[in-house]
Amino acid sequence: MNKILNILTFGIHNFNTKMAILLALILIIIAIYIILAISHVYIKKIHKRRHIFMWLSAGLGCVILLFLLSILIPRPYGHLATPTEDGQLLQAHMPIVITFDNPVDAHNLTMHISPEIKGEWKFTNILPINTSLKHQAIFYPEESFYPDTKIVVYIVGLQSLFPGSKAHEQAIEFFSPKTPNIAEIIPASGQEKVDIADNIEIIFDNPSGMFAHWQFHFEPEIQFQINKVSDKKYLLEPKETLFQDTQYALSISRSLQTYNVKDFSPIKIDTEDVFSMTFHTVSPPLIEEHAPQGEEVRSNSQIRIVFDEDMDKEDVEKHIIISPTTTGTISWENEKTFVFTPTKELKKDTKYIITVKKDMLTAYGGKTEEDVELYFKTLGSVALKNTFPASNSYGIQLDIPHIAITFNQGVDHDSAQSSFSLSPNVPGTFSWENNTMIYSFTKKLDYSKKYQIHLDKNIKSLYGQDSIEDFSYSFLTKNKVFTLKIPMYYQEEDFTCNLAATSMILKYRGITQNEANIKSSIGIGGDPNKNWVSEYGVHWGPIAQYISQYRKVAIKTGWNISELAHEVERGNPVIIWWHNNYSPSGAFTLPSGVIGYEGMHSEIVSGFVGNADNPITLITNDPWRGIRHYSRKNFLATWGYLGYTALVVY
């Protein structure tokens, strides 16, 4: 009947489109009425015109009747109307728009969304006046979704407007925006002879929205502005021309975040280094090489410039300017190599620019055509350049061998070691690699522990200035997490979570069976204690009987969380039967007369956080929503719905 009505009403799944077509048909019929009425003077036999009016009236009545039946009888279903691309949201904070193909009574509906974020569901009226009949539900989130997250909208209480119709439930699944990664950088890593006037192009493989922030750092340091050309392309535009013949290093870190939709303030931020590269700018005309370079130059360094041909020495000496002004002596190693030796040490923590002026003569009478600026910076005070683990990092493994602290210059080893402290203390020994101090542990770190590293000021520099401030940073070790490597399969249909969980567990045990095979073997019927039931699922008995063909199983009821965690720790995965946290709860009678349970759902307990005797978090493979983490309290509250029932697969 539903299919016939859909065909007769154009098979359209959008209520607004149905209304528009119906209105167009009515207007066409009314227009024909008017034409016939106006033209009645030209029709000699009036009874024929009456017949036409009668048929048009009947046709109009049929169209209206069919339309009313098409919205009263069929089950309503929701369809995702929010802009997506390949099943991914275009923005992490955009409203979720669900359009119904037939009107629904909002009083009967309960809307759920996973992940469970703050927000508000609002419904759109069908009629100009406010009634309970709606054709659209919109979720306005208060916070954004984290990228690469599966989103499930679960609708409870869908019901046609025809009196006595049965309510049903529906899941609509999609994903938040993909995490953007660096696809290409221009200039390429390792590229030589880069034009000093070029911008740096950053190209992403996926759009980079508000959920992803990027940090760019150059060495030597560059002042630049970021020009967002598109969601997939940034331009880094240096505010000053780059220096010639200089090796630049670019490091990029990415911060993925959720944020408040109202003011875009961050809620959760995860930062990681994702890319690093180097490139070398073009060499200046006539100059083959020069030294020193970079930002870690010793104050007792000489300045050397090697030209690509013999030079007029006297003229060269007039055309080279060092800023800030520095006294020293000039010498030549050969006809091409200019050497400036300062009479006293260069100023520390100072940027020097060597300008080679245009019109400088070669030995053969040639002239340079433009000014050339060369750059270096002397060492300043001692500072931290890098640390391992990184500052504020978390989830650090317990068996890392050491802490490594890299200084920006050579330091006195004893001075640095005596300034070092670690809290809580872990015994260890010091060693060095160039400017990196390594503190190697003689025992493993502890779980869930914050370690604070502190360095007192006045660390002595070998060539620059002593440190002028204390340095402190910290890292956090990982929680004790135990997980089984159970594959993650999403259920292929509604109400097949029990079958998908069975397929995952069998695959973990080396046995490949898909949902269709399992359903066929268990059978389809009306009693979930014997078969899989359409629009409901299957209880633990038939699943246990099916798996027992391959592996030993044990059904547990009235079980406890400690014994469950110990079974998982021994390598035995566990299927649990509980509530999906969305649907109404409570027992009800299936059409077959057998007792069923609203919102019955299955997940696999695949791991836990903490100690098996008292786990703080339980980890599950949810065939519907993916990998899930439940606090002990929430897990027990949900599990108790069906009497703490589980199936252990050995």
Q: How confident is the model over 43-68, as a mean pLDDT?
A: 58
pLDDT at residue 3, rounded to an integer: 43
- pLDDT tens for residues 298-354? 999 999 999 988 999 999 999 999 999 999 999 999 999 999 999 999 999 999 999
pLDDT at residue 5, rounded to an integer: 41
pLDDT at residue 7, rounded to an integer: 39
Residue 261 has pLDDT above 80, yes or no: yes
Residue 454 has pLDDT above 80, yes or no: yes
User: What is the DSSP pairing of strand 532-533 with strand 524-525?
Assistant: parallel
pLDDT at residue 102, rounded to an integer: 85
Instruction: Report whether the peptide linkage leading into residue 220 is cis, meaning its omega lies within 30 degrees of zero.
Output: yes
Q: Which of 408, 414, 406 is nearest to 460 (CA)?
A: 414
CA distance linking residue 439 with residue 445, whole number of Å:
13
Considering only residues 543 and 33, tell me which one the structure prediction assigns the higher pLDDT: 543
To the nearest whole number, what is the mean pLDDT of the chain? 89
pLDDT classification of 10: cutoffs 50, 70, 90? very low
Residue 173 has pLDDT above 70, yes or no: yes
Q: How confident is the model over 250-276, as a mean pLDDT?
A: 90
13-22, 272-281, 454-463, 589-598: which range is least confident on average?
13-22
Contacting residues for 499 by C-beta, under 8 A, at least 6 apart: 491, 515, 518, 519, 522, 532, 538
CA distance linking residue 414 with residue 421, whole number of Å:
13
- pLDDT tens for residues 577-631? 999 999 999 999 999 999 999 999 999 999 999 889 989 999 999 999 999 999 9
Whether the CB-CB separation of 422 and 453 falls below 8 Å is answered with: yes
pLDDT at residue 248, rounded to an integer: 93
What DSSP element (H or E) covers 65? helix 46-72
pLDDT at residue 4, rounded to an integer: 42
Q: Which of 250, 234, 233, 254 is nearest to 242 (CA)?
A: 250
End-to-end Cα distance, the chain: 48
Q: Quick one: residue 87, left, alpha or beta (phi over 0 = left, psi -120 to 50 = alpha)? A: left
**Nearest-5° Cα angle at 21, 19 to 24:** 110
Whether the CB-CB separation of 634 and 559 falls below 8 Å is answered with: no
pLDDT at residue 266, rounded to an integer: 87
Beta bridge partners of 121: 139
User: What is the DSSP pairing of strand 150-158 with strand 110-114?
Assistant: antiparallel
Give 182-281's CATH code, choosing from 3.30.530.20, 3.30.1490.190, 2.60.40.730, 2.60.40.3710.
2.60.40.3710
Packed helices 46-72 and 15-38: angle between N→C axes, nearest 10 degrees: 170
pLDDT at residue 558, rounded to an integer: 96
What is the Cα 8 distance to its own chain's centre? 45
Q: Is 10 exposed, middle or buried (0-12, 13-18, 19+ CB in 10 A)?
A: middle
Q: Which of 244, 359, 262 is nearest to 312 (CA)?
A: 359
Name the pTM for this structure: 0.60
CA distance linking residue 483 with residue 603, whole number of Å:
15
| Whether domain 482-649 has CATH 3.90.70.10 | yes
pLDDT classification of 11: cutoffs 50, 70, 90? very low
Q: How confident is the model over 439-448, as a mean pLDDT?
A: 92
Q: What is the topology classification, in CATH, of domain 78-175?
A: Immunoglobulin-like (2.60.40)
59-63, 232-236, 389-393, 530-534: which range is least confident on average?
59-63
pLDDT classification of 18: cutoffs 50, 70, 90? low
pLDDT classification of 2: cutoffs 50, 70, 90? very low
Helix, strand, or coil here: 245?
coil
287-377 — its CATH code? 2.60.40.3710
Contacting residues for 570 by C-beta, under 8 A, at least 6 apart: none
What is the DSSP annotation of 594-636? -EEETTEEEEEEEEEEEETTEEEEEEEEETTTEEEEEEHHHHH
pLDDT at residue 243, rounded to an integer: 86
The token duo for 503 is: 């397929």
Q: Which of 373, 355, 180 is nearest to 281 (CA)?
A: 373
Looking at the domain covering 384-478, what would its CATH class be? Answer: mainly beta
Residue 63 has pLDDT above 80, yes or no: no
pLDDT at residue 347, rounded to an integer: 93
CA dihedral 559, 561, 564, 565 (to 10 degrees): -170
CA distance linking residue 22 with residue 579, whole number of Å:
43
Question: What one-character DSSP code corresponds to residue 336?
Answer: S
pLDDT at residue 57, rounded to an integer: 62
The token duo for 244 is: 């010639």
CA distance linking residue 320 with residue 327, whole number of Å:
13
With a pLDDT cut of 90, the percent of the chain lying above it is 70
Residue 132 has pLDDT above 90, yes or no: no
66-80, 259-273, 368-382: which range is least confident on average?
66-80
- pLDDT tens for residues 474-520? 998 988 889 999 999 999 999 999 999 999 999 999 999 999 999 99
Where do the H-state alpha helices sit in 467-534? Answer: 497-508, 515-522
Cα 613 to Cα 108, 142, 165, 322, 569, distances in angstroms = 43, 38, 49, 71, 11
CA distance linking residue 507 with residue 514, whole number of Å:
9
Contacting residues for 31 by C-beta, under 8 A, at least 6 apart: none
- pLDDT tens for residues 363-412? 877 788 788 999 999 999 999 999 999 898 888 889 999 999 999 999 99
Cα 382 to Cα 157, 257, 510, distances in angstroms = 67, 33, 57
The token duo for 413 is: 């080893």
Give the type of residue at 329: T
Residue 56 has pLDDT above 90, yes or no: no
Residue 136 has pLDDT above 80, yes or no: yes
